[in-house]
Amino acid sequence: MKFLIISDLDNTWVGNDAATIRLQKKLQAERDRFYLVYATGRSFASAVNLMREFWLTTGEPLLAPDCFITGVGSEIYHQGILDYDWAAKISQNWNRSAILPITQAYPQLLPQPESELNPWKISFCLSKSVNSAILDDLKQDLMRNHLAANVVFSSGRDVDILPPGVDKGTAALYIREKFQIPLERTLMCGDSGNDLSLYQHSTLGVIVHNAQPELLSWYQQQANPHIYYAPSSYADGILDAIAHFGLIRD
Protein backbone atom coordinates (compact mmCIF):
# COMPACT_ATOMS: atom_id res chain seq x y z
CA MET A 1 0.00 0.00 0.00
CA LYS A 2 1.42 3.36 -1.06
CA PHE A 3 1.77 6.21 1.40
CA LEU A 4 1.06 9.86 0.66
CA ILE A 5 3.21 12.89 1.44
CA ILE A 6 1.51 16.28 1.23
CA SER A 7 4.09 18.99 1.79
CA ASP A 8 4.31 22.73 1.79
CA LEU A 9 7.17 24.07 -0.35
CA ASP A 10 8.64 27.32 1.08
CA ASN A 11 10.55 26.78 4.33
CA THR A 12 9.46 23.13 4.48
CA TRP A 13 10.39 21.04 1.41
CA VAL A 14 12.70 23.83 0.27
CA GLY A 15 14.58 26.48 2.24
CA ASN A 16 17.76 24.55 2.94
CA ASP A 17 19.10 23.07 -0.30
CA ALA A 18 21.33 20.48 1.34
CA ALA A 19 18.39 19.22 3.43
CA THR A 20 16.10 19.01 0.37
CA ILE A 21 18.75 16.99 -1.45
CA ARG A 22 19.16 14.66 1.55
CA LEU A 23 15.39 14.09 1.74
CA GLN A 24 15.04 13.53 -1.99
CA LYS A 25 17.93 11.07 -2.05
CA LYS A 26 16.17 8.99 0.60
CA LEU A 27 12.83 9.16 -1.24
CA GLN A 28 14.06 8.70 -4.79
CA ALA A 29 14.77 5.01 -4.29
CA GLU A 30 11.19 4.55 -3.01
CA ARG A 31 9.44 6.75 -5.58
CA ASP A 32 6.95 4.06 -6.63
CA ARG A 33 5.93 3.49 -2.99
CA PHE A 34 4.38 6.90 -2.36
CA TYR A 35 2.34 9.72 -3.85
CA LEU A 36 3.73 13.22 -3.51
CA VAL A 37 1.68 16.41 -3.46
CA TYR A 38 3.08 19.91 -3.06
CA ALA A 39 0.64 22.13 -1.16
CA THR A 40 1.70 25.74 -1.47
CA GLY A 41 0.40 29.25 -1.06
CA ARG A 42 2.04 30.15 -4.36
CA SER A 43 0.25 30.23 -7.68
CA PHE A 44 0.87 27.27 -9.98
CA ALA A 45 3.14 29.41 -12.20
CA SER A 46 5.13 30.53 -9.19
CA ALA A 47 5.48 26.95 -7.90
CA VAL A 48 6.79 25.82 -11.29
CA ASN A 49 9.21 28.76 -11.25
CA LEU A 50 10.45 27.72 -7.80
CA MET A 51 11.16 24.23 -9.16
CA ARG A 52 13.16 25.71 -12.02
CA GLU A 53 15.10 28.00 -9.66
CA PHE A 54 15.94 25.03 -7.43
CA TRP A 55 17.38 23.15 -10.39
CA LEU A 56 19.31 26.22 -11.58
CA THR A 57 20.95 26.76 -8.21
CA THR A 58 21.57 23.17 -7.11
CA GLY A 59 21.75 21.24 -10.39
CA GLU A 60 19.23 18.77 -8.89
CA PRO A 61 15.55 18.60 -9.90
CA LEU A 62 12.92 18.98 -7.22
CA LEU A 63 11.01 15.67 -7.05
CA ALA A 64 8.11 15.70 -9.53
CA PRO A 65 4.85 15.62 -7.56
CA ASP A 66 1.75 13.63 -8.54
CA CYS A 67 -0.27 16.81 -8.23
CA PHE A 68 -0.15 20.37 -6.91
CA ILE A 69 -2.38 22.15 -4.42
CA THR A 70 -1.72 25.84 -5.07
CA GLY A 71 -2.98 29.20 -3.83
CA VAL A 72 -3.57 27.81 -0.29
CA GLY A 73 -6.01 25.15 -1.57
CA SER A 74 -7.84 27.40 -4.03
CA GLU A 75 -6.56 25.44 -7.01
CA ILE A 76 -5.52 21.83 -7.68
CA TYR A 77 -3.51 20.83 -10.76
CA HIS A 78 -3.03 17.34 -12.20
CA GLN A 79 -0.37 17.17 -14.94
CA GLY A 80 -0.60 20.94 -15.26
CA ILE A 81 -4.39 20.91 -15.75
CA LEU A 82 -6.79 22.60 -13.34
CA ASP A 83 -9.07 20.23 -11.41
CA TYR A 84 -12.46 21.55 -12.53
CA ASP A 85 -14.40 19.33 -10.10
CA TRP A 86 -12.61 21.09 -7.23
CA ALA A 87 -13.17 24.46 -8.89
CA ALA A 88 -16.91 23.80 -9.26
CA LYS A 89 -17.17 22.58 -5.67
CA ILE A 90 -15.54 25.67 -4.17
CA SER A 91 -17.35 28.14 -6.42
CA GLN A 92 -20.60 27.53 -4.53
CA ASN A 93 -21.34 30.14 -1.92
CA TRP A 94 -18.39 32.33 -3.01
CA ASN A 95 -18.98 35.90 -4.06
CA ARG A 96 -15.55 37.30 -4.87
CA SER A 97 -16.80 40.50 -6.49
CA ALA A 98 -18.82 41.40 -3.38
CA ILE A 99 -15.90 40.70 -1.04
CA LEU A 100 -13.39 42.89 -2.87
CA PRO A 101 -15.03 46.27 -2.07
CA ILE A 102 -15.27 45.32 1.63
CA THR A 103 -11.51 44.73 1.78
CA GLN A 104 -10.96 48.17 0.29
CA ALA A 105 -12.14 49.72 3.56
CA TYR A 106 -8.88 48.41 5.11
CA PRO A 107 -5.95 50.47 3.86
CA GLN A 108 -3.67 48.41 6.14
CA LEU A 109 -4.20 45.52 3.71
CA LEU A 110 -1.68 45.98 0.92
CA PRO A 111 -2.69 44.07 -2.23
CA GLN A 112 -0.40 41.27 -3.37
CA PRO A 113 0.67 41.15 -7.03
CA GLU A 114 -2.06 40.18 -9.50
CA SER A 115 -0.07 37.04 -10.39
CA GLU A 116 -0.78 35.60 -6.90
CA LEU A 117 -4.54 36.12 -7.15
CA ASN A 118 -7.02 33.80 -8.85
CA PRO A 119 -10.81 33.52 -9.09
CA TRP A 120 -10.89 31.81 -5.65
CA LYS A 121 -8.16 33.75 -3.82
CA ILE A 122 -7.75 37.38 -2.82
CA SER A 123 -4.44 38.11 -1.06
CA PHE A 124 -2.87 40.96 0.86
CA CYS A 125 0.15 41.74 2.99
CA LEU A 126 -0.24 43.26 6.41
CA SER A 127 2.58 45.63 7.30
CA LYS A 128 4.49 44.52 10.42
CA SER A 129 3.38 47.56 12.42
CA VAL A 130 -0.34 46.73 12.08
CA ASN A 131 -2.08 44.65 14.75
CA SER A 132 -3.47 41.49 13.18
CA ALA A 133 -6.65 42.04 15.24
CA ILE A 134 -7.96 44.07 12.28
CA LEU A 135 -8.53 40.68 10.64
CA ASP A 136 -11.25 40.03 13.23
CA ASP A 137 -12.92 43.28 12.15
CA LEU A 138 -12.66 42.19 8.53
CA LYS A 139 -14.20 38.79 9.33
CA GLN A 140 -17.06 40.48 11.17
CA ASP A 141 -17.62 42.86 8.28
CA LEU A 142 -17.85 39.93 5.89
CA MET A 143 -20.27 38.16 8.20
CA ARG A 144 -22.47 41.23 8.59
CA ASN A 145 -22.70 41.34 4.81
CA HIS A 146 -23.55 37.61 4.64
CA LEU A 147 -20.39 36.92 2.66
CA ALA A 148 -18.93 33.52 3.48
CA ALA A 149 -15.14 33.32 3.29
CA ASN A 150 -12.13 31.77 4.96
CA VAL A 151 -9.48 34.28 6.08
CA VAL A 152 -6.02 32.71 6.54
CA PHE A 153 -3.10 34.53 8.18
CA SER A 154 0.48 33.30 7.62
CA SER A 155 4.04 34.22 8.51
CA GLY A 156 2.77 37.19 10.54
CA ARG A 157 2.24 38.96 7.20
CA ASP A 158 0.17 37.25 4.49
CA VAL A 159 -3.61 37.44 4.43
CA ASP A 160 -5.51 35.14 2.08
CA ILE A 161 -9.26 35.32 1.56
CA LEU A 162 -10.63 32.06 0.17
CA PRO A 163 -14.05 30.51 -0.38
CA PRO A 164 -15.69 29.17 2.79
CA GLY A 165 -14.22 25.85 3.89
CA VAL A 166 -11.31 26.14 1.47
CA ASP A 167 -7.77 25.77 2.73
CA LYS A 168 -4.82 23.46 2.18
CA GLY A 169 -6.41 20.94 4.55
CA THR A 170 -9.70 20.49 2.68
CA ALA A 171 -7.87 20.33 -0.66
CA ALA A 172 -5.55 17.70 0.85
CA LEU A 173 -8.54 15.71 2.11
CA TYR A 174 -10.03 15.75 -1.40
CA ILE A 175 -6.75 14.41 -2.85
CA ARG A 176 -6.35 11.78 -0.14
CA GLU A 177 -9.83 10.46 -0.91
CA LYS A 178 -9.09 10.49 -4.65
CA PHE A 179 -5.90 8.48 -4.11
CA GLN A 180 -7.64 6.32 -1.45
CA ILE A 181 -4.82 6.49 1.04
CA PRO A 182 -5.66 5.75 4.70
CA LEU A 183 -5.14 8.39 7.38
CA GLU A 184 -2.22 6.55 8.99
CA ARG A 185 -0.41 6.36 5.63
CA THR A 186 -0.73 10.12 4.97
CA LEU A 187 1.90 12.60 6.18
CA MET A 188 1.30 16.36 6.14
CA CYS A 189 4.36 18.66 6.30
CA GLY A 190 4.45 22.39 6.95
CA ASP A 191 5.87 25.40 8.74
CA SER A 192 3.38 28.29 8.82
CA GLY A 193 -0.19 29.46 9.38
CA ASN A 194 -1.52 28.38 6.01
CA ASP A 195 -0.37 24.81 6.82
CA LEU A 196 -2.36 24.60 10.06
CA SER A 197 -5.42 23.19 8.28
CA LEU A 198 -3.30 20.30 6.95
CA TYR A 199 -3.08 18.92 10.50
CA GLN A 200 -6.83 19.01 11.18
CA HIS A 201 -7.92 15.87 9.34
CA SER A 202 -6.61 13.08 11.59
CA THR A 203 -3.63 12.14 9.41
CA LEU A 204 0.01 12.03 10.46
CA GLY A 205 1.69 15.43 10.48
CA VAL A 206 5.08 16.99 10.91
CA ILE A 207 5.81 20.58 11.86
CA VAL A 208 9.39 21.36 10.88
CA HIS A 209 11.57 22.85 13.60
CA ASN A 210 11.87 26.25 11.91
CA ALA A 211 8.06 26.75 12.02
CA GLN A 212 6.48 30.19 12.39
CA PRO A 213 5.14 31.32 15.80
CA GLU A 214 1.49 31.24 14.66
CA LEU A 215 1.77 27.50 13.89
CA LEU A 216 3.86 26.69 16.99
CA SER A 217 1.45 28.40 19.36
CA TRP A 218 -1.40 26.33 17.87
CA TYR A 219 0.69 23.16 18.19
CA GLN A 220 1.42 23.88 21.86
CA GLN A 221 -2.32 23.71 22.58
CA GLN A 222 -2.62 20.26 20.96
CA ALA A 223 -1.96 16.92 22.59
CA ASN A 224 -2.08 14.80 19.47
CA PRO A 225 0.55 12.05 19.16
CA HIS A 226 0.01 12.02 15.38
CA ILE A 227 1.42 15.54 15.06
CA TYR A 228 5.17 15.59 15.47
CA TYR A 229 7.30 18.68 16.09
CA ALA A 230 10.53 17.69 14.34
CA PRO A 231 13.89 18.22 16.01
CA SER A 232 15.34 19.27 12.63
CA SER A 233 14.52 22.15 10.35
CA TYR A 234 13.31 22.33 6.73
CA ALA A 235 13.41 19.06 4.74
CA ASP A 236 15.49 17.37 7.45
CA GLY A 237 12.38 17.65 9.63
CA ILE A 238 10.45 15.61 7.04
CA LEU A 239 13.22 12.99 7.16
CA ASP A 240 12.83 12.93 10.97
CA ALA A 241 9.10 12.30 10.56
CA ILE A 242 9.53 9.51 7.99
CA ALA A 243 11.73 7.71 10.52
CA HIS A 244 9.53 8.63 13.52
CA PHE A 245 6.35 7.26 11.91
CA GLY A 246 8.16 4.33 10.26
CA LEU A 247 6.88 5.18 6.77
CA ILE A 248 9.94 3.67 5.11
CA ARG A 249 11.41 0.62 6.74
CA ASP A 250 15.00 -0.05 5.76
d(CA 148, CA 139): 9
**Residue 158 in contact with ligand GLC, rule: CB under 6 A:** yes
Q: Which does 83 bind (CB under 5 to 8 A by kind): ligand GLC, Mg ion, none?
A: none
Site for ligand GLC in 175-194 (CB under 6 A): 194
**Residue 160 in contact with Mg ion, rule: CB under 5 A:** no
Taking residues 188 to 227 in sequence order and writing x for each that binds Mg ion by CB under 5 A, - otherwise, the string is ---xx-----------------------------------
Q: Which residue from 192, 226, 248, 189 is spatially nearest to 5, judged by alpha carbons?
A: 189
Strands (E), 75-226: 75-78, 81-82, 109-111, 122-126, 150-154, 158-162, 186-190, 204-207
Q: Residue 2 to residues 30, 216, 244: CA-CA distances in angstroms?
A: 10, 30, 17
**Residue 167 in contact with Mg ion, rule: CB under 5 A:** no
d(CA 250, CA 248): 6
Instruction: Closer to ligand GLC by CB, 27 or 142: give it.
Output: 142
Instruction: Closer to ligand GLC by CB, 72 or 235: give it.
Output: 72
| Count, residues near Mg ion per rule CB under 5 A | 5
Instruction: Closer to ligand GLC by CB, 83 or 195: give it.
Output: 195
Instruction: Closer to Mg ion by CB, 99 or 193: give it.
Output: 193
Query: CB under 6 A: which stretch of 15-23, 153-161, 210-218, 221-229 binds ligand GLC?
Result: 153-161
* Side chain identity, residue 164: P
d(CA 45, CA 234): 23
Instruction: Closer to Mg ion by CB, 49 or 91: give it.
Output: 49
* Cα dihedral 51→172→200→162 (10° resolution): 80
Q: Residue 213 to residues 37, 55, 136, 209, 227: CA-CA distances in angstroms?
A: 25, 30, 19, 11, 16
Give the residues across from 154 on adjacent strands: 158
User: Counting every residue, how long is the chain?
Assistant: 250
Q: Which does 123 bind (CB under 5 to 8 A by kind): Mg ion, ligand GLC, none?
A: ligand GLC
Q: In what order do the strands lie in the sheet with 158-162?
A: 109-111, 122-126, 158-162, 150-154
Taking residues 111 to 130 in sequence order and writing x for each that binds ligand GLC by CB under 6 A, - otherwise, the string is -x---x------x-------
In the complex, which residue's CB is closest to ligand GLC? 41
**Residue 41 in contact with ligand GLC, rule: CB under 6 A:** yes
* Contact footprint for Mg ion (CB under 5 A): 8, 10-11, 191-192
* Contact footprint for ligand GLC (CB under 6 A): 41-42, 72, 112, 116, 123, 154, 158, 160, 194
